[in-house]
Amino acid sequence: MTGRFIVFEGVEGCGKTTQLQKLQQWLQADSRFKHCSVLVTRQPGGSELGLQLRRLLLEPRPSEPMQDRAELFLYAADRAQHVEGFLKPQLAAGAIILCDRYTDSTIAYQGYGRGLNLTVIEQLNQLATDGLESDLTFWLDVDVEIGLARAKRRGSVDRIEQANLDFHRRVQQGYTKLAKAHPQRIVRIDAEPSQEQVAHQIQTILNQHFFP
């Protein structure tokens, strides 16, 4: 039996964490999935090694700014560990996996945001994932300033949230291009309405096209 791999993507504060939890509860309450494990995980930080990489990646370091290519390789290392040690075995065992960020984040943040070469990033993604793609990716589309305001209201600000507004706008542009390029895999969700309305959009898509 093989499981299902569902990814959530979007700019800061778009509501991924909130919606991942809501979707996990919704799936667990549905008798169609009573024999499946429904697991929530994330990148970076979905493994023991990944948790250490996550700290390195996100903590502010004013004394020595992280170089863009160093950042790219750390995300790739986190992904390779997570795919081989967690995602592949859990999918092989039939789990439904809900993952906070995956390969599209690297294209949006390191590619469109930092300006690193997109072809190289795609090759690195391929190497890190060994070809494992999501079955479905929800792109929670919210205005960048609304997302950042939500993230700020929630509490402390990490190294990437501190980047300037232009950087986050380029990231958003990256997601827009990715969604156009991969309409079969990436589904845009309007993430500006209330949490309940966003959850309803996600459940409707899953009922209609994914778990009919």
Q: Show contacts with ligand Z5A in window 15-34 (CB under 6 A).
A: 15-18
Pick between residue 36 and residue 192 the one whose CB is nearest to ligand Z5A.
192
The minimum distance between CB 208 and ligand Z5A, in angstroms, equals: 21
Q: Does 207 bind ligand Z5A (CB under 6 A)?
A: no
- Position among 5, 86, 109, 175 found at the interface with ligand Z5A (CB under 6 A): 109
Q: Does 170 bind ligand Z5A (CB under 6 A)?
A: no
Q: Show contacts with ligand Z5A in window 183-202 (CB under 6 A).
A: 194-195, 198
The minimum distance between CB 183 and ligand Z5A, in angstroms, equals: 22
Q: Does 111 bind ligand Z5A (CB under 6 A)?
A: no
The minimum distance between CB 151 and ligand Z5A, in angstroms, equals: 4
Q: Show contacts with ligand Z5A in window 50-79 (CB under 6 A).
A: 58, 75
The minimum distance between CB 72 and ligand Z5A, in angstroms, equals: 8
- Judged by CB under 6 A, the stretch of 9-17, 31-39, 175-183, 203-211 that binds ligand Z5A is 9-17
Pick between residue 95 and residue 199 the one whose CB is nearest to ligand Z5A.
199
Alpha-carbon span 129 to 206, nearest angstrom: 24
Q: Does 151 bind ligand Z5A (CB under 6 A)?
A: yes
Q: Which is nearest to 188 in space by CA: 158, 178, 62?
A: 178
Instruction: List, as one string, the DSSP characters of the chain.
Output: ---EEEEEE-STTSSHHHHHHHHHHHHHT-GGGTTS-EEEEESS-SSHHHHHHHHHHHS--TTSPPPHHHHHHHHHHHHHHHIIIIIHHHHHTT-EEEEE--HHHIIIIIIIIT---HHHHHHHHHHHHTT---SEEEEEE--HHHHHHHHHHHS---TTTTS-HHHHHHHHHHHHHHHHH-TTTEEEEE-SS-HHHHHHHHHHHIIIII--
Looking from the CA of 189 toward its CB, the CA atoms found within 13 Å total: 30
The contact set with ligand Z5A (CB under 6 A) reads 10, 12-18, 42-44, 58, 75, 100-101, 105-106, 109-110, 150-151, 153-154, 158, 160-161, 194-195, 198
